[in-house]
Amino acid sequence: MPSPDQFAAAAHALAAGALVVFPTETVYGLGANASDDVALRRVFQTKGRPSDHPLIVHLATPADLDHWSASTPPSAVALAEAFWPGPLTLLVPRARHVLDTVTGGRPTVGLRVPSHPVAHAFLARFAEIVPHGGVAAPSANRFGAVSPTEAVHAKAELLPFLHDGDLIIDGGASTVGLESTIVDCSVNPPMILRHGAVTAEMLGVVTDLQDAAGPSRAPGMLASHYAPRCAVIAVADRSHADRVAVEAVGPVEVLDYGIDVDAMAHGLYASFRAADARGVQSLIVVLPPESGLGRAIRDRVTKASADRPVPN
Ligand code: TXA
Ligand code: MG
């Protein structure tokens, strides 16, 4: 755990316009003061991301939900109460002060209170400097690449693009390992836009949902995304994997976590990176069942495998 001095330094750097890479329980984020238009523009440049893809605003406390939302839908209040702090992003009607750079001009803003102790300490320190302050942060990877689940991954992705004064906080490996669940609470009933560790089953206990089993719809969730350099081939079971492996060209590996979906979520992106580092050309991934956390994993693996030419 970084020291209080380090949190203070990072929070002051952020308030002064720097970018800060910080850990969360899902993945590492590339943070900017959500009320600083110049710093926000640097987030898009640093990632190489189109400027109309909205950013999630990270808050220290659920009490700040009302500061960032124009009118908080009852579903958002109930979901925040049940799952914050945690790996859940809520889309709510944006408050007037929320910048277009954050929302991509949309009428909603995505809000999340992370549970990671380092993220919390950093956000809380920042909110002492900027009252109700939020930290806008996409995943700390270059656009289209795999999200970082360790500080060293974020460094490898972004160090060449960071400036003097920007900081990277190392908080160890992200426990969940997949990006947050996104629920659009501006519609009634709410709709899941991206599956994650707060599963459809868990959400369904708190609120009605529409199209809970549908494909991801968040803008920026392109068909091909979260992709390593190697070709990802998704298969239903181990025997299928072994048959495909025999026919695959070049160095090939099979990724099979068995029934342990928590371990698979936690390790998936690191496995993608490790496969690339070993020069693997074809990574055959055995998919988990399509329920609970398995849905989020299948979503990411499918996107990693979409339309990827086998590299040579
Ligand atoms: O777990 C996470 O959510 C991580 C950590 C850092 O919190 N963040 C993350 O951010 O994954 P990013 O930018 O890589 O993915 C956020 C997704 C994008 O597809 C974006 O388009 C969508 O959320 N999004 C954010 N705000 C939105 C809004 N107001 N309306 C629709 N989609 C939104
Ligand atoms: Mg991302």
Give yes or no for residue 310 having a pLDDT over 50. no
The bridge status of strand 191-194 relative to strand 181-184 is: antiparallel
* Distance of CA 303 from the midpoint of ligand 2 (Å): 12
* Distance of CA 139 from the midpoint of ligand 2 (Å): 4
Q: How confident is the model at residue 307 (pLDDT cuts 50, 70, 90)?
A: low
Q: Is the peptide bond before 189 cis (omega within 30 degrees of 0)?
A: yes
The first and second tokens of residue 236, run together, are 């239903």
- The mean pLDDT of 263-269, rounded to a whole number, is 98
Q: How confident is the model at residue 227 (pLDDT cuts 50, 70, 90)?
A: confident
Q: Which amino acid is at 46?
A: T
Residue 1: per-residue pLDDT: 85
Query: What are the pLDDT digits (tens) for 145-173?
Result: 999 999 999 999 999 999 999 999 999 99
Query: What are the pLDDT digits (tens) for 14-61?
Result: 999 999 999 999 999 999 999 999 999 999 999 999 999 999 999 999
Q: Each residue of 64-101: b (16+ CB within 10 Å) or e?
A: bbeebbbebbebbbebbeebbbbbbbbbbbbeeebbeb
* Distance of CA 286 from the midpoint of ligand 1 (Å): 26
Query: What are the pLDDT digits (tens) for 115-144?
Result: 999 999 999 999 999 999 999 999 999 998
Atom number of ligand 1 nearest to Cα 182: 23
- The mean pLDDT of 232-247, rounded to a whole number, is 94
The best mutation among 40, 94, 153, 182 to test binding of ligand 1, ranked by most ligand atoms within 8 Å of the C-beta, falls on 182
Q: Name the closest-CA residue to atom 32, ligand 1.
A: 218
Query: What are the pLDDT digits (tens) for 273-282?
Result: 999 999 999 9
The best mutation among 43, 51, 52, 89 to test binding of ligand 1, ranked by most ligand atoms within 8 Å of the C-beta, falls on 89
Residue 213: per-residue pLDDT: 47
Q: Name the closest-CA residue to atom 31, ligand 1.
A: 218
Residues with CB under 6 A from ligand 1: 24, 26-27, 29, 53-56, 89, 91, 103, 106, 108-110, 112, 137-139, 179-180, 182, 218-221
In the chain, alpha helices (H):
4-15, 37-47, 65-68, 74-83, 100-103, 117-129, 151-158, 200-206, 238-247, 261-277, 293-305
Give yes or no for residue 309 having a pLDDT over 90. no
Residue 218: per-residue pLDDT: 62
Residue 219: per-residue pLDDT: 58
The first and second tokens of residue 130, run together, are 């900027």
Question: In this structure, are residues 251 and 263 in contact, taking their beta carbons and an 8 Å threshold?
Answer: no
* Distance of CA 238 from the midpoint of ligand 1 (Å): 33
* Distance of CA 12 from the midpoint of ligand 1 (Å): 24
Question: In this structure, are residues 60 and 53 in contact, taking their beta carbons and an 8 Å threshold?
Answer: no
Query: What are the pLDDT digits (tens) for 55-87?
Result: 999 999 999 999 999 999 999 999 999 999 999
* Distance of CA 159 from the midpoint of ligand 1 (Å): 22
Residue appearing with tokens 């995304």: 225
- DSSP states of 102-169 as a string? HHTT-SEEEEE----HHHHHHHHHHHHHSTT--EE--BSS-TTSPPPSSHHHHHHHHGGG--TT-EE-
Q: How confident is the model at residue 12 (pLDDT cuts 50, 70, 90)?
A: very high
Give yes or no for residue 100 having a pLDDT over 70. yes
Residue 267: per-residue pLDDT: 98
Residue 45: per-residue pLDDT: 98
Query: What are the pLDDT digits (tens) for 190-226?
Result: 999 999 999 999 999 999 999 644 445 565 555 566 7
Q: Where does residue 4 rank: exposed (0-12), middle (13-18), buried (19+ CB within 10 A)?
A: exposed
Residue 311: per-residue pLDDT: 34
Residue appearing with tokens 């299928």: 240
Atom number of ligand 1 nearest to Cα 221: 19
Query: 132 in the Ramachandran plot: left (φ > 0), alpha (ψ -120 to 50) or beta?
Result: left
